[in-house]
Amino acid sequence: MAIHIAPTLLALVTVGVFFPSTVTSSVLQKLAAVDTCLTTAGVPTYASGSADFTQAIKPFNLRLPFTPVALAVPSTVAHVQAAVSCAASLGITVSAKSGGHSYASHGIGGENGHLIVDMLYFNNITVDKSSSTAMVGTGARLGNVATALYNQGGQAISHGTCPGVGVGGLALHGGYGFSSHTHGLTLDGILEATVVLANSTVVTASATQNPDLFWALRGAGASFGIVTNFKFQTFTAPSPNIVFTYMFSFGSQQQAVSAISAIQTYTRSTMPTELNMRFTINPYSTTLSGVYYGSQAAFTAAIQPLLSTMPAPLYNTVQSMGWLDTLTAYSNGALATTLNYDYHETFFAKSLMPSELSDAAITAFVAYWFNTAKSNTRDWYVMMDLHGGAGSAISKVAADATSYAHRDAIFKFQFYDRVDSGTYPSNGFPFLNGWVGSITSAMPNTTFGMYINYADSSLTADQAHTAYWLDHYPKLTTIKMAYDPKKVFSNPQAILST
Ligand SMILES: Cc1cc2nc3c(=O)[nH]c(=O)nc-3n(C[C@H](O)[C@H](O)[C@H](O)COP(=O)(O)OP(=O)(O)OC[C@H]3O[C@@H](n4cnc5c(N)ncnc54)[C@H](O)[C@@H]3O)c2cc1C
Ligand SMILES: *[C@@H]1O[C@H](CO)[C@@H](O)[C@H](O)[C@H]1NC(C)=O
Ligand SMILES: *[C@@H]1O[C@H](CO)[C@@H](O)[C@H](O)[C@H]1NC(C)=O
Ligand SMILES: *[C@@H]1O[C@H](CO)[C@@H](O)[C@H](O)[C@H]1NC(C)=O
């Protein structure tokens, strides 16, 4: 055992990663102790410094690498319990990793020194068609979830677009995609979760069992335990569907302001439940794209009130597709992923969940786009999801039904700035901070929500708590106190117990 621990520990100590030198020897003892504890308990691990370990901790966002003290690779719930017990008894913080796609690398702790419980082998997916439910292991990735649900009886759940995202992190903090306006967030489909708590007991959380925990898990799950399995409500995979893209070119800022203003008005009151749509801006194009669940004729009638207020599109595609092709149209690659999935980017990202944008905010957003973003040569984009409004299944759920705090957000903005090779420049951060700031400073008396699934590494803990959970945060701290007072499950932006 000492043979595989020592090199990593020495490396960590040598580069001064996280121990002040005065505590080095006690930390070394602690690290040796956690390895001994995991081994004694029969928990499978990847040895620190091994090729498997190095690969498993490689985050989606290469800008934010962190080094855990140990990495458990459980294949049973008992393994997860034993791993949590080892860490808790030694005062080591635990983070679950499902798909490893957290923008702030929270799946590997978001800082050095955590025990990571990698859920990759919790990838079973079993549909019970008679009850329209499915048991889904949290380590399963979305493309495999969608494929398995479809193959086992034509079922589906609402989820995000990228096939490599883990259903664990996605569902515990939101889960938005091109069926969410119609069917809600991924977390809205959770009927039950099997959870290993900080004291290493395993419980079921549902509307009737541990309902306070169930509430907290659906929006802030990372802070409350390790979920091993979900039971989801499924729906019949819709088919055929209308998959569409309209590309625009705005000749002036005023034209862009009018278009975004029209999109907001349409989202608030006109957009039917069956329509799912996103407005995307990047250096190359400006598009409205999405999916409509219904006939071509019904789609044409549904989109017409919006198109009639916009400039004529440069180009459009409107196609009819079956369910898996509908997903593939937005998946950026094949749905199926393998256990050694290995895709990464280097980026800084932010989000904003406004309940409305004032005219001044839209004007400021567009001015920043034309005057600043158009001269940024990095590979940036902004996606404005049409999240809420009268027709949205997300907004129809009561604001306090789950800890997800953004039911009334009209848009879900994602701001993303990446480099295609090399490191993200240290002078890059003001670009997106300034773009978000263009909106927030135009509406100075508004508290803006942000989306933890687009975790923004530049937020302090206090800023994160307010932006991610808004007025749900105090209740979350109370539940944290009941289930995890010692903060066994944590990361730099997690819920605090006091
Ligand atoms: C390429 C890409 C595309 C994306 N597309 C979408 C999209 O379309 N829609 C959308 O809503 N979001 C999208 N996201 C954001 C995504 O939802 C979040 O990054 C999500 O948290 C990732 O989950 P994960 O399991 O892959 O990540 P991880 O990094 O493994 O986990 C994320 C967080 O959840 C916690 N966690 C993970 N598993 C468990 C568990 N079993 N029990 C308790 N806590 C757990 C982790 O500790 C961490 O805090 C996308 C992200 C990327 C990188
Ligand atoms: C997945 O299913 C297989 C076959 O039923 C079973 O042996 C295995 O224990 C399951 N894995 C988990 C993590 O539940
Ligand atoms: C913000 O609130 C302050 C104090 O209540 C008020 O004076 C100001 O007019 C408000 N600003 C806006 C833009 O609403
Ligand atoms: C574990 O924690 C839960 C939640 O706080 C509590 O209900 C349960 O009694 C605890 N179990 C043990 C064995 O301490």
pLDDT of residue 24: 60
Q: Is the pLDDT of residue 113 over 80?
A: yes
> In ligand 3, which atom is closest to the CA atom of 443?
13
Q: Is the pLDDT of residue 14 over 90?
A: no
Pick the closest to residue 46 from 71, 65, 66 (CA basis).
71
The DSSP line for 291-321 is EESS-HHHHHHHHHHHHTTSPPPSEEEEEEE
Domain extents in the chain: 7-118
Average pLDDT over residues 202-211: 98
Most informative mutation of 197, 214, 481 for ligand 4 (most atoms within 8 A of CB): 197
Within 13 Å and on the Cβ side, how many CA atoms surround 76?
A: 7
pLDDT of residue 26: 72
pLDDT of residue 86: 98
| Residue 125 phi, psi (nearest 5) | -135, 115
- Ligand 2 center to 136 CA (angstroms): 11
Pick the closest to residue 66 from 115, 10, 110 (CA basis).
110
How far is residue 25's CA from residue 135's CA, in Å, rounded to a whole number?
A: 45
pLDDT, tens digit, for every residue of 255-269?
999 999 999 999 999
Q: Is the pLDDT of residue 109 over 60?
A: yes
With 0-12 CB in 10 A as exposed, 13-18 as middle and 19+ as buried, what is 260?
A: buried
Q: What mean pLDDT, rounded, does the chain reach?
A: 94
- Ligand 2 center to 122 CA (angstroms): 8
How far is residue 270's CA from residue 18's CA, in Å, rounded to a whole number?
A: 53
pLDDT of residue 222: 98
Within 13 Å and on the Cβ side, how many CA atoms surround 398?
A: 4
Banded pLDDT at 196 (limits 50, 70, 90): very high
- Ligand 2 center to 75 CA (angstroms): 8
- Kind and range of the H or E element at 210? none
pLDDT of residue 32: 87
How far is residue 245's CA from residue 265's CA, in Å, rounded to a whole number?
A: 20
Average pLDDT over residues 280-298: 98
- Ligand 3 center to 361 CA (angstroms): 15
CATH class of domain segment(s) 7-118: alpha beta
Q: Is the pLDDT of residue 5 over 70?
A: no
Strand partners, 291: 243, 276
- Ligand 4 center to 411 CA (angstroms): 39
pLDDT of residue 6: 34
Within 13 Å and on the Cβ side, how many CA atoms surround 21?
A: 2
pLDDT of residue 398: 98
Most informative mutation of 101, 276, 330 for ligand 1 (most atoms within 8 A of CB): 101
pLDDT of residue 212: 98
Average pLDDT over residues 165-193: 98
Ligand 3 pocket member 358 (CB < 6 A) = no
- Ligand 4 center to 485 CA (angstroms): 11
How far is residue 249's CA from residue 498's CA, in Å, rounded to a whole number?
A: 50
Q: Is the pLDDT of residue 229 over 50?
A: yes
Ligand 4 pocket member 483 (CB < 6 A) = yes
pTM of the complete model? 0.95
- Which residue's alpha carbon is nearest to atom 18 within ligand 1? 453
pLDDT, tens digit, for every residue of 381-432?
999 999 999 999 999 999 999 999 999 999 999 999 999 999 999 999 999 9
Most informative mutation of 85, 199, 203 for ligand 4 (most atoms within 8 A of CB): 199
H-state helical runs in 355-450: 359-371, 393-396, 429-440
Ligand nearest to the CA of 361: 3
What separation in angstroms does the CA of 203 have from each of 194, 197, 228, 432? Answer: 6, 7, 10, 41
- Ligand 3 center to 445 CA (angstroms): 6
| Residue 177 phi, psi (nearest 5) | -155, -160
| Cβ–Cβ < 8 Å for 129, 101 | no
The separation between the first and the last C-alpha atoms of the chain, rounded to the nearest angstrom, is 38
> In ligand 3, which atom is closest to the CA atom of 445?
1
